[in-house]
Chains A and B, each alone.
Chain A
Amino acid sequence: MADRARNKDGLGKAVTFNVITPMNRFGTCVVRLLLWIFDRWKRTQNTAKALAFLPFVHWVVIKRDRFPQLEGQPAEKLNYDYLFFLSTFNGPWGPYIEAFADVLYAPLDAVWFWSIRYPMARPVGPLKTYIKRNQVESDHSYSAYPGASVRDVRAGLEVRRELEQFARDSRDLAPDKFATEFDRLLMSLQNKLGSFGPIPK
């Protein structure tokens, strides 16, 4: 289970996912341009963010002659450039791929189309086979908050903001008014208070 970060209480929710696929030179140019556009115009990332299960994703293009080469190390002689997709997701593998194929098929196809023998995101069966062939398991994964999903983190940040505001604003209130304002706080945060934590041993 080296793909999954853990802590003392059990395995965490975040799972690392690494896929390395070969591309030809023309594909490399196109993919670099596309990734540059996605990076430059953050609005293009909104759909991925709406899925709410991707804390981090790295897309990396390495040209065949750009693998790091240190003193005394033989140079790589490769036939292809390589695209590294390194993501972290919350939840099981199958639904993750299906959600990608359902919701993000357009950007996914635009980028992975240039990888050798990429089958396209739909239907999802061939995509899963392709990913299995090119997926590499992590040997160690770490998360500073392994028990928290993306939704947990978002909710936590919001709870903290509102709670700080409430603590400031309610300090001098009379008890009755304080109780009313506390109820109001709970109503605004009621959907953000679920429990979280790692999967117990």
Chain B
Amino acid sequence: MANQNGEKYGFTGLFPIKDGQTAALRAFLRTLDEKYPRGSPLAEVSVVHMARFVVIDRLAYQGTPAKVDTLKSNYLLFACDFDGFSIDVLIREMVAHIPDQLKTIWQNCRGFPGIESRDGLSRYFEQCQVTTNLLLADQPDATVNDILLGLMYRRGLGEFIRHVQETQPTPAELKEDFAKLWQRLQEVRPHAGDL
């Protein structure tokens, strides 16, 4: 069960890249952070904590007397930590929120079945999945939403304290101002990638 730690699933997948597509895929991946205001299309997938894409096109040689290993295919390594208990959760969310980006990335990989069948896509991800032998998570039971809210509360309280120091309110005003802060914190919901 090492793919799982608490409420979090750590997916690691190696997707063989189609011949001749490596450079195009790498170039596309390298533009993502500039293209999206929150740094990645994955900001639209609310269950994802962290993710990385790595094109693997060589294995390092360790020097004599080690042997040289040469890959016959290049691979797209996709590692993703998300809230859930199976890859189906991630697939469902990606298909719902970033279908075009999902297609643009994985159509460079062999065997990509398209996004029309979610079951087919889940099977494809499972085929390319490699078991995570050890998944370490600092906060295994906190969801993305829990963490974003925590950070927002922390920022909100910090600003409130500055306001209190500047205005020196009476106890009655302090209570009233705090009620307004509390109301604001209940209404605002931070978006992934904002903080």
Taking Cβ atoms with an 8 Å cutoff, the residues of A that contact B are 1-2, 5-8, 12, 14, 16, 18, 20, 22, 31-32, 35-36, 38-39, 45, 48-49, 52, 54-62, 66-80, 82, 84, 86, 88, 116-117, 133-134, 136-148, 150, 152-160, 163, 167, 170, 173, 175-176, 178-179, 182, 186, 189, 192-197
Q: Which of A20, A32, A71, A157 touches B111 (beta carbons < 8 Å)?
A: A71
Report the minimum CB–CB distance from A193 to chain B (whole Å): 5
Question: Which of A54, A150, A175 contacts B175, CB < 8 Å?
Answer: A175
B99: CB under 8 A from chain A? no
**A57 B135 Cβ-Cβ under 8 A:** yes
A144 contact from B69, B72, B128, B193, Cβ within 8 A: B193
Among the 9-residue stretches B85-93, B114-122, B149-157, the one with 4 or more Cβ atoms under 8 Å from chain A is B149-157
With beta carbons under 8 angstroms apart, the residue of A38, A45, A58, A77 that contacts B79 is A58
* Smallest CB separation, A168 vs chain B (Å): 10
Distance, CA A194 to CA B158, complexed state (A): 8
CB contacts under 8 Å to A, within B11-63, are: 12-16, 26, 29-30, 32-33, 37-40, 42-43, 48-56, 59-60, 62-63
Instruction: With both chains docked as a complex, state the minimum distance between the C-beta of B93 and any C-beta of chain A, in angstroms.
Output: 12
Query: How many positions in chain B have a CB within 8 Å of any CB in the partner chain?
Result: 85
- B contact residues around A7 at 8 Å (CB): 37-39, 43, 193-195
What residue of chain B has the Cβ atom nearest to residue A144's Cβ? B192
**Interface pairs (7), CB distance under 8 Å:** A5-B39, A68-B128, A75-B72, A139-B53, A140-B33, A154-B138, A193-B154
Contacts of A146 in B (CB 8 A): 39, 193, 195
Q: Which 5 A-B pairs have the closest CB atoms?
A: A156-B150, A175-B171, A70-B111, A144-B192, A142-B40
Q: Which residues of A contact B195 (CB under 8 A)?
A: 7, 145-148, 196-197
Contact B66 A116 (CB under 8 A): yes
Contact assessment for A2 and B33 in the assembled complex, using a CB-CB cutoff below 8 Å: yes
Interchain CB contact under 8 A, A59 and B43: no
The interface residues of chain B lying within 8 Å CB-to-CB of A152 are: 151, 154
A61-B133, A71-B110, A78-B69 given; 13 more Cβ-contact pairs under 8 Å: A6-B39, A38-B134, A39-B134, A75-B72, A84-B12, A86-B77, A140-B40, A143-B49, A153-B139, A155-B154, A170-B178, A193-B157, A197-B195
